Chain A
């Protein structure tokens, strides 16, 4: 699979702070996605990005598809305790049956 580099590996922040995480790849993707995983559960899709340069929001979450198609970032504004979890970026192309290539995840802890 194609290697995705996700950073930071973990974040420990206070409630109300903004969070930013990013993902880079040596390969081009047609689609970038961001997932959140809660303990004991499968990943849940947060945002999907389909065009280079696209900026998309979902509530307090904002994500961008990099112009080079090799990177993406996710911002969370005004964090709350329920934002705790592991966030994964994933790149996708039409080959390999639309299989996802995942980053290693960013573990987010939010203190009240």
Chain B
């Protein structure tokens, strides 16, 4: 049982390049989330998907798009990367509020 799998683990982009961060969970969870973590800032919500077929903006959505491809997969896309998007990105999933989140191990993105 892999839990939440994020790919890639590391990525370096040039300013203006695009890329998609992949996230998949095998726990049949309903809700999925993308957070970014910056030093001294905690984790901030970018987008979330409360159920298959729905997506909503979080606290810091600008510069990102998401796709809930199916119940298992929730991808995060940077259309034109900027240095301000250098961060560690975490995907998480949730069955119900009673069980808490399961986080992936993160994608470390550097934009130069």
Interface residues of A (CB under 8 A from B): 1, 4, 6, 31, 33, 40-45, 48, 50, 88, 92, 94, 96-105
Contacts and interface: CB of A to CB of B under 8 A. Distances in A.
A99 B58 CA distance: 8
Given A92-B97, A97-B31, A102-B43, A1 B106 contact: no
A42 B105 contact: yes
Contacts of B53: none
Interface string B24-61: 00000001010100001111110011100000101100
B45 to A, nearest CB: 5
Given A88-B43, A97-B48, A45 B100 contact: yes
State the main secondary structure of chain B at its contact with A. strand
A42 B104 contact: yes
Most buried by A among B40, B59, B97, B104: B97
B58 to A, nearest CB: 6
Interface residues of B, number: 27
A1 B104 contact: no
B56 A45 contact: no
A51 B68 CA distance: 32
B43 A100 contact: yes
Q: Which 5 A-B pairs have the closest CB atoms?
A: A42-B103, A97-B50, A1-B59, A102-B42, A104-B42
Nearest to A43: B103
B101 interface: yes
Contact of A33 (B33, B41, B58, B100): B100
A96 B97 contact: no
B92 interface: yes
Given A42-B106, A43-B103, A1 B44 contact: yes
